[in-house]
Amino acid sequence: MVAEGGAAHGFTAQGRAGQGVAAEGHAAHDIAAPGGGVVRPATGAVVDSAVLEAAARRDRRDAGQRNHDALLALLQAGVDMNKLGSHRGLPVQITLTMSLADLERGAGIATTATGGHVSINEALKMAAGSKPVLAVLDGDGVPLYLGRSRERLATPGQRLALIARDKGCTHPDCDAPAAMCAAHHVVDWAKGGPTDLDNLALVCDHHHAMVNDSECRVREG
């Protein structure tokens, strides 16, 4: 339903003007939203309920599936454009770990930084529109060295390698996923410990505050 001049649903020209909607000089269109109420013209230009409804009639997915897939598409677009900021030293991005054997045969399971699992097929679809970063591990699962750093903070490349190696918190009694962990110096930076992979381990925020040379240790590998 389209209401000329904003009379529908109690939206007057004065009310629209207060919301920044043009009320003079041309006709403004208030578009009825599928769930009730109206949307402003700028929103209607992006989400045209009539077009969406016409598309839905040709779609065999139910409403829940369409809403789920629409949300995924919106989030994927934000990730692909690198517009979501950073988290713990890395851009907000999808991080997946999988074996070369599974990748080559196109079957198996990939692990996310939050401990979730997706099929290799889904992982490849997720990577299709992005710029993947490849971390190469040896036969024992140890990432290749990225060189020693004079900086205190782990580089984005080192953090990716830690996610691939440690999977999550390395405290013996913790199963926190990698996305909830920080890069910890096994030998403290203040005591000369280098920012290198053999001196770094993922530790969750809770255990990061506890770990030191005398109190508790992280597990290796």
How far is residue 1's CA from residue 112's CA, in Å, rounded to a whole number?
44
Q: Taking the CB of residue 66, how many other CB atoms lie within 10 A of it?
A: 15
76: closest CA among 133, 129, 120?
A: 129
Listed as ranges, residues in the chain with pLDDT below 50 are: 1-28, 31, 33, 144-149, 213-216
Please give the angle made by the CA atoms of 115, 120 and 124, to the nearest 5 degrees: 105
DSSP summary character for residue 141 = S
DSSP summary character for residue 146 = -
Residue-wise pLDDT tens digits, 9-44 = 444 444 444 444 444 434 445 545 455 566 677 666
122: closest CA among 136, 140, 138, 106?
A: 106
CA atoms within 13 A on the CB side of 37: 5
pTM across the whole model: 0.38
How far is residue 210's CA from residue 192's CA, in Å, rounded to a whole number?
19
SS (H, E, C) the chain: CEEECCCHHHCCHHHHHHCCCCCCCCCCEEEECCCCCEECHHHHHHCCHHHHHHHHHCCCCCHHHHHHHHHHHHHHHHHHCCCCCEECCEECCCCEECCHHHHHHCCCEEEECCCCEEEHHHHHHHHCCCCCCCCCECCCCCECCCCCECCCCCCHHHHHHHHHHHCECCCCCCCCEHHHEEEEECCCHHHCCCECHHHEEEEEHHHHCCCECCCECCCCC
**Residue 158, token pair as written in the block:** 């080192």
Q: What is the pLDDT of residue 5?
A: 44
Q: Which residues fall within 8 angstroms of residue 53, CB to CB, at 6 or more apart?
A: 34
Instruction: Determine the length of the chain.
Output: 221
Q: What is the pLDDT of residue 110?
A: 84
